[in-house]
């Protein structure tokens, strides 16, 4: 997913917003996007522990599979941009210039150092988010999906809280082409750790429309499971039909919610702030709405005003955020 920004005029337009819109619920959930990724390298155990301590309701896991069929928590199905794979395994690059997780065993992957996300600019590693954790400091590792669940369930026991998990299967079609059934493997791990029904604190998410349907129609019944399902959405032709009123109505028959890119809900155009009918139509179809990604350091304007717009004026049910602390505090103060 590309990193996208909201433009500043978006926020000045908030001043013109009439009292509105379709707020339905008072319970809002905070989903720690890749952990406390505003403060520590994404998807590290440290980032997850910090997000837990900050009061997230759910911690997000992006999940991919290794050569030896182990599930690891990583945003991409390749290792570029967050590790030192280029230095440790210089000969393992594919022709497209990428280092694929699926080409490495878990043992090999565990030798990598994880760092804050970077791009290569003029041959130099350059932080994507310059104000975040410095590149190349301290020591972070990739961990398995099971290890992260055990961290969260361990903290649930030791703190007495009940924080949920929010796994996303990354590129299931790519994994299938490589002979691996990512969704089935993730669901089996969920079942092993007791996430079985809609009462359990788990949301299963994917951008792949056909895969979510397959999970609902085939995999969950086969495994005697019935967990909450989230269809992720982006601004792409692929999603044009599903975001219509009829499309959402059909989706509402098997999914529990949608996770849209935030600009699909509200964005700025030449006439000012534009709010779509997506939330209204999703709620009418019985779907919760959890947009992504709320980043304090990417928003030009007041972060809390943006949260207020989405959570309390438009009425989304939760948000993915890199800044759990700011978001939890905002919701607490609002109450």
Active site amino acids: 33, 75
State which of residues 164, 167, 259, 260 lies at the interface with ligand G3P (CB under 6 A). Answer: 259
Q: Which is nearer to ligand G3P, 13 or 243 (CB)?
A: 243
Q: Which is nearer to ligand G3P, 66 or 293 (CB)?
A: 293
Report the DSSP beta bridge partners of residue 118.
Answer: 127
Which conformational region is residue 90 in: left (phi greater than 0), alpha (psi within -120 to 50 degrees), or beta?
A: alpha
Closest CA to 243 of 183, 306, 287: 287
Binding mask 163-182 for Ca ion (x = CB under 5 A): -----x--------------
The tokens for 48 are 């997850």
Helix (H, G, I), strand (E, B) or coil at 286: coil
Q: Which is nearer to ligand G3P, 205 or 281 (CB)?
A: 205
Q: Which is nearer to ligand G3P, 185 or 205 (CB)?
A: 205
State which of residues 63, 73, 220, 232 lies at the interface with ligand G3P (CB under 6 A). Answer: 232
Q: Report H helices in the chain.
A: 8-12, 45-54, 85-88, 106-109, 145-159, 172-177, 182-192, 209-214, 220-222, 245-251, 278-284, 303-307, 324-334
Closest residue to ligand G3P: CB criterion: 1
Q: Do 164 and 202 touch, CB atoms closer than 8 A?
A: yes
Q: Do 303 and 323 touch, CB atoms closer than 8 A?
A: yes
- Residue 202 CB, shortest distance to ligand G3P, in Å, is 14
- Tell me how far CA of residue 66 lies from CA of 77, 101, 193, 206, in angstroms: 9, 5, 21, 19
- Residue 1 CB, shortest distance to Ca ion, in Å, is 8
What does the alpha-carbon distance between residue 218 and residue 221 come to, in Å, rounded to a whole number?
6
- Strands 58-65 and 71-73: what pairing? antiparallel
> Binding to Ca ion by residue 148, rule CB under 5 A?
no
State which of residues 13, 66, 185, 205 lies at the interface with ligand G3P (CB under 6 A). Answer: 205
Q: Which is nearer to ligand G3P, 60 or 208 (CB)?
A: 60
Check residue 69 and report its DSSP letter. Answer: S
State which of residues 58, 100, 104, 320 lies at the interface with ligand G3P (CB under 6 A). Answer: 320
Q: Which is nearer to ligand G3P, 1 or 20 (CB)?
A: 1
Tell me which residues in 6-65 interact with ligand G3P (CB under 6 A): 33, 60, 62
- Residue 60 CB, shortest distance to Ca ion, in Å, is 6
Tell me which residues in 27-66 interact with Ca ion (CB under 5 A): 62
- Strands 29-32 and 318-321: what pairing? parallel
- Residue 289 CB, shortest distance to ligand G3P, in Å, is 12
What does the alpha-carbon distance between residue 5 and residue 129 come to, in Å, rounded to a whole number?
12
- Residue 166 CB, shortest distance to ligand G3P, in Å, is 8
> Binding to ligand G3P by residue 175, rule CB under 6 A?
no
Interface residues toward Ca ion, by CB under 5 A:
62, 168
Interface residues toward ligand G3P, by CB under 6 A:
1, 33, 60, 62, 168, 205, 232, 259, 292-293, 320
């Amino acid at each position: 997913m590309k990193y996208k920004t909201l433009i500043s005029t978006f926020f000045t337009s908030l001043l013109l917003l009439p009292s509105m819109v379709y707020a339905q619920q008072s319970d809002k959930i905070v989903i720690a996007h890749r952990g406390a990724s505003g403060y520590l390298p994404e998807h590290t155990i440290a980032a997850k522990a910090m997000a837990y301590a900050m009061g997230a309701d759910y911690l997000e896991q992006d999940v991919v599979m290794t050569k030896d069929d182990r599930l690891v928590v990583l945003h991409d199905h390749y290792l570029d941009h967050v590790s030192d794979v280029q230095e440790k395994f210089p000969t393992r690059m594919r022709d497209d210039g990428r280092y694929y997780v699926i080409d490495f065993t878990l043992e090999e992957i565990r030798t990598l150092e994880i760092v804050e996300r970077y791009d290569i600019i003029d041959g130099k590693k350059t932080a994507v988010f310059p104000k975040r954790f410095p590149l190349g400091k301290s020591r972070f590792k990739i961990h398995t999906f099971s290890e992260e669940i055990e961290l969260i369930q361990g903290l649930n026991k030791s703190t007495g809280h009940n924080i949920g998990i929010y796994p996303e299967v990354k590129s299931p079609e790519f994994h299938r082409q490589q002979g691996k059934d990512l969704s089935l493997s993730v669901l089996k791990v969920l079942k092993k750790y007791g996430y079985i029904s809609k009462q359990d604190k788990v949301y299963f998410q994917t951008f792949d429309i056909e895969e979510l349907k397959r999970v609902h129609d085939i995999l969950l019944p086969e495994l005697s499971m019935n967990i909450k399902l989230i269809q992720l959405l982006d601004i792409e032709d692929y999603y044009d039909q599903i975001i219509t009123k009829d499309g959402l109505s059909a989706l509402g028959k098997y999914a529990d919610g949608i996770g849209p890119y935030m600009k699909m809900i509200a964005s700025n155009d030449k006439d000012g702030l534009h709010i779509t009918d997506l939330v209204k139509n999703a709620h009418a179809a019985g779907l919760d709405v959890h947009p992504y990604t709320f980043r304090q350091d990417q928003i030009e304007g007041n972060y809390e005003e943006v949260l207020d717009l989405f959570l309390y004026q438009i009425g989304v049910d939760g948000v993915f955020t890199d800044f759990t602390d700011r978001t939890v505090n905002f919701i607490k103060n609002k109450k």
